[in-house]
Amino acid sequence: MTQAGWYADPYGGGGHRWWDGTKWTDHVNATPVQQAQPQPPQAMPQQPMPQQAQAQQAQAQQAHAQYGPVLHKTRYGVELHADAHAITWDGTTIELAKAEFVGYTAVQARMRGPLNIGSVHTSTDYHFEIGFFPVNQAPAIAFEETGLRANTPPSDWQFLVDLSRRYVEPRLLRQFLAAVEAGQTVDVGKVRIDRNGFVGGNVSRGWEGIEGVTFDKGWYFVHARGAGKPILRVPQQNQNVMLLPQIFDALKR
């Protein structure tokens, strides 16, 4: 911290005010003072942090260095903790390196006021899930933000989605492609995929002539070359469905 001395008065007036090493005093000198020390910031200096606050800051910095960004808070009386290692919500912890599926949706809904009176409002329900198969039987986490405006995703939901995109989806993509290369059949977003082609709904096609997969308004669309309309659509609610575009690009011929 800057040592005691006369410095330009941060409160104005053109004179100098005495800084006692910790705070500004009431002693003011209206005449210029020649001093070699650099000027302190033109705001009241911050007092040293209490020891407990310093320890908490050090822990946060250590966690950030080890795991990257960390989300830790209590929502509606339930602990939410998420980092590059694991996500904990409502007493359940899922390690990102072991999770078998992820899913996230942003679904818009139009609502009227009570008794259908009044203007129509558009809201968005945000859903995130991660866990193991079989769904609804094995451990999983489902996190939701409901009734929010569509302009900006809620920060907690976006944090979980960003973790998935960085630490979960690349690993799952590698695993699915390696399994197909080894001659196995994999299920991605309820589309069965193997070396020869895919089966989804009532559609079965080989990889020849497949253009790729696009996303629009809550659906993933599979396109064939030269076809005017998509040959298959898959809802964004299906687990791991966000991997379809990359898998199809890797396997199409």
DSSP character string of 122-170: EEEEEEEEEE-SSTTTS-EEEEEEEEE-SSS--HHHHHHHHHIIIIIHH
Task: Give the pLDDT band (50/70/90) at residue 146.
Answer: confident
Q: What is the dihedral of CA 39, 42, 43, 45, to 10 degrees?
A: -10
Across 230-249, average pLDDT: 98
Q: Which of 34-38, 116-120, 221-225 has the lowest mean pLDDT?
A: 34-38
pLDDT at 75 > cutoff 60: yes
Which residue, 196, 182, 179, is CA-closest to 243?
179
Strand order in the sheet with 203-206: 186-188, 191-193, 197-200, 203-206
The answer for residues whose C-beta is within 8 angstroms of residue 109's C-beta and 6 or more apart is: 122, 123, 124, 125
How far apart CA 105 and CA 143 sit, in angstroms, is 11
Which tokens sit at 72? Answer: 């830790």
Instruction: Give the three-state DSSP class for 116.
Output: helix
Average pLDDT, the chain: 84
How far apart CA 147 and CA 122 sit, in angstroms, is 9
Higher pLDDT: 19 or 137? It is 137
Across 179-198, average pLDDT: 98
The answer for residues whose C-beta is within 8 angstroms of residue 63's C-beta and 6 or more apart is: 70, 83
pTM reported for the whole predicted model: 0.71
Instruction: Give the three-state DSSP class for 183.
Output: coil
